[in-house]
Amino acid sequence: MAFLKAIWRFMMGVKDVLVLCFLLLFFIGLYGILSISGGERPMQVSEGALLLDLDGSIVEQPRKVDPLSLLIGTEAPMQEYRLRDIITALEAARSDPKIKVVVLDLNGFTGGGQVALTRIGKALDGLRAAKKPVLAYATAYQDDGYQLAAHAGEVWLNPLGAVALTGPGGNQLYYKGLIDRLGITAHIFRVGTYKSAVEPYLRSDQSPEAKADMQALADHLWQNWIADVKKARPQAQIIPYSSQPVAAAEAAQGNLGNAAISAKLVDKLGDAQSFAARVAELAGAAPQNSPHPYAAIDLATYALTKQPANVGQIGVVTVAGEIIDGEAGPGTAAGESIAKQIEEALASGKLKALVVRVDSPGGSVLASERIRIAIAAARQQKLPVVVSMGNIAASGGYWISTAADRIYADPSTITGSIGVFAVVPSFEGMLAKIGVTSDGVRTTPLSGEPDIVGGFSPEFSRITQLGVEDIYRRFLGLVAAARKISPEKLDGIAEGRLWDGGTARQLGLIDGYGGLEEAIAEAAKLAKIAPADARPFYIDPKTDAFTQFVEQMVSGEAQAHARVGGSDLAALQSARQQALFIRALDDAQRLATGGSIQARCLECASFLPGTQPSQKSISIMEKLLFWQM
């Protein structure tokens, strides 16, 4: 029998190899055909404009894209640009004589979060201080796009475009009415007056506590945004323009481009051709067969050539996206995957310190604890650990941060949300509407529980609530021990409340302000490494060669022309509404399928660019079919 099993495994292995070889040959042939049909490939330029054509969002860690979806999909996936790559390129361009000008094409930009954009703005300021021209162009600027553009020396706007400064905030979606109408019972187990993550399933509107919490956070973020933009562009009349938008539009008789000029938000009105001609004056003419009307150097290519060797002694691991159980690719914080990355790096014996970059709204408590234990193992090996918070490090993101010696954040970082919850649905009401009931026998009070068909027993509900309360006490214990905060003080700042980085520092939840570079410097100091010798070693997830090949093939000329839809203000607003619709379907599916106990900041999604789909997200069509079944 063992021999037959070995033969079977061998045959399956041969089959897999043959299938992989066939697919590889097929895609190589397809790539060759596309290359021939596309004519002569564009000539690569060695000097000119560094082009940041940001057709998508800026993230800490781009998500892994399924190669099959890339190849058979009818639309190119939304691009994600790694913050680290952009900073590397901009800082290298500062002293590179071959870079004549830096161009920000923000027509398809969907955002990046205030912390990331503030860091990029600092790099753009460094370029301008080095006398490198920085130009920005868009048909419509919204908050994130304008925060970047404000750091440019020349801000261009399409004459038919607009600048729409809305500030953080907006409506949340609430599903209580839909739940009641469908007959679904949402069993809510939570701790914390301000733990509003479950309110969409519990209420038809926002509670006064949650509203006060969110208003205070939004006000702080808006003040930080205004301060950053005003420092970069002092002449911009931000406050009157944003506080009285109708008056600004009426004064310009509806010409929103002129309204932006009058408020000194932009420098010039011009179409894409006029802007390209201006860039060509600075960068030089484009070579033959170039896809650009001026000499342009691609961001990805340039960042790759300027990336330093990854041979440092300060490990840097990224925890980005929703924290989930099990394993997953980049862009999703899978507990098992990240813990293994840390453990393998520690086992090498080459690290002298560890920096954890957190950009996550939290998620599964079990996965958060798995990551925290892996981080704590570094401290057990006498390695200093420093956490660097990005745009958001809330709930589970803060849970894992408690394992650090030091925590650094930005004033606009969203953190806190120290609370836990669980949502488990049952469908007895829905089934009763179609005449289906349930009955049975029990041998213990928990037989058949959780009973999603007949409803939960009081015993199950009580035990689950006690479990949630116990995990909340554990959360408080971790925070109290790590931050040396008394239980009385902690009780006033926990309960799921959200804080901006500035307030979090006053409350003792973080140690100081700073980004990833400052965290690496602090880790080097704690490890007694001379600043000149401190080098990061990025503990990045590995991508298989086949996926890399497909991504490179698809990300060439095909994606260069993949932008669909308009780029004016109406198109951007439409895209935002579509993102809201997708989020509503995600939330509804989350309720229907249930889940583990969560330390997750669901309301944080309103402060982040685009949608934040989980690893298990499915397409819109699949979601609609799901709800029709």
Q: What is the pLDDT of residues 36-91, one digit of tens each?
A: 444 444 445 679 999 999 999 999 999 876 655 555 554 556 789 999 999 999 99
Q: Over range 208-228, report the average pLDDT.
A: 92
pLDDT attached to residue 158? 97
In the predicted model, what is the mean pLDDT of the chain? 84
Does pLDDT of 188 surpass 80?
yes
Active site residues: 195, 395
266 DSSP assignment? -
Residue 19: band (very low, low, confident or very high) from pLDDT cuts 50, 70, 90 = low
Q: Over range 109-126, report the average pLDDT.
A: 96
Written as six digits, the tokens of 216 are 């205070």
**In angstroms, what is the C-alpha Rg of the chain?**
26
CA 254 to chain centre: 35
CATH number of the domain within which 130 lies: 3.90.226.10
With beta carbons less than 8 A apart as the criterion, state whether 316 and 386 touch.
Answer: no
Question: Do the domain assignments include residue 438?
Answer: no
Question: Do the domain assignments include residue 328?
Answer: no
- What DSSP string describes 452-497? TTT---HHHHHHHHHHHHHHHHHHHHHHHHHHT--HHHHHHH-TT-
In the chain, the N- to C-terminal Cα span, in Å, equals: 44
pLDDT attached to residue 185? 86
Question: Do the domain assignments include residue 623?
Answer: no
Residue 226: band (very low, low, confident or very high) from pLDDT cuts 50, 70, 90 = very high
Question: Do the domain assignments include residue 165?
Answer: yes
Residue 623: band (very low, low, confident or very high) from pLDDT cuts 50, 70, 90 = very low
**CA gap 202, 205 in Å, rounded:** 9
Does pLDDT of 594 surpass 70?
no
Measure the CA angle with vertex 197, ends 417 and 514; round to 5°: 30
Using omega within 30 degrees of 0 as the cis cutoff, is the peptide bond preceding 200 cis?
A: no
Residue 286's DSSP bridge partners are none
With beta carbons less than 8 A apart as the criterion, state whether 299 and 89 touch.
Answer: yes
pLDDT attached to residue 433? 86
Question: Do the domain assignments include residue 231?
Answer: yes
Question: Do the domain assignments include residue 224?
Answer: yes
Q: Is 348 exposed, middle or buried (0-12, 13-18, 19+ CB in 10 A)?
A: exposed
Does pLDDT of 25 surpass 80?
no
pLDDT attached to residue 32? 54
pLDDT attached to residue 24? 59
- What DSSP string describes 498-565? EEEHHHHHHHTSSSEE--HHHHHHHHHHHTT--GGG--EEEEPPP--HHHHHHHHHHTTHHHHT---S
pLDDT attached to residue 615? 39
pLDDT attached to residue 558? 41
SS3 percent helix, strand, coil of the chain, rounded to 5, is: 50, 15, 35
pLDDT attached to residue 556? 47
Does pLDDT of 596 surpass 80?
no
Q: What is the pLDDT of residues 385-415, one digit of tens each?
A: 999 999 999 999 999 999 999 999 999 999 9
For residue 421, what are the CA distances in angstroms to 234, 295, 399, 594, 607? 45, 54, 14, 12, 21
- Number of domains within the chain: 1
pLDDT attached to residue 471? 93
Q: How many CA atoms lie within 13 A of 150 on its CB side?
A: 30
Q: What is the pTM of this model?
A: 0.86
pLDDT attached to residue 37? 42
Residue 303: band (very low, low, confident or very high) from pLDDT cuts 50, 70, 90 = very high
Written as six digits, the tokens of 129 are 């201080």
pLDDT attached to residue 36? 45
Output b/e per residue, 404-421; b: 16+ Cβ within 10 A: bbbbbbbbbbbbbbbbbb
Range of the domain at 57: 48-169+216-306
pLDDT attached to residue 409? 97
Question: Do the domain assignments include residue 366?
Answer: no
Q: What is the dihedral of CA 96, 102, 108, 114, to 10 degrees?
A: 80
Q: 103-117, 281-295, 358-372, 613-627: which has the minimum mean pLDDT?
A: 613-627
Question: Do the domain assignments include residue 485?
Answer: no
**CA gap 323, 317 in Å, rounded:** 14
Written as six digits, the tokens of 543 are 């991508």
The residues, any chain, with a CB within 8 Å of residue 476's CB and separated by 6 or more, are 418, 487, 490, 491, 494
pLDDT attached to residue 584? 63
618 DSSP assignment? -
Written as six digits, the tokens of 214 are 């969110």
Q: Over range 239-253, report the average pLDDT.
A: 96
Q: What is the pLDDT of residues 442-453, one digit of tens each?
A: 899 889 888 888
pLDDT attached to residue 610? 52
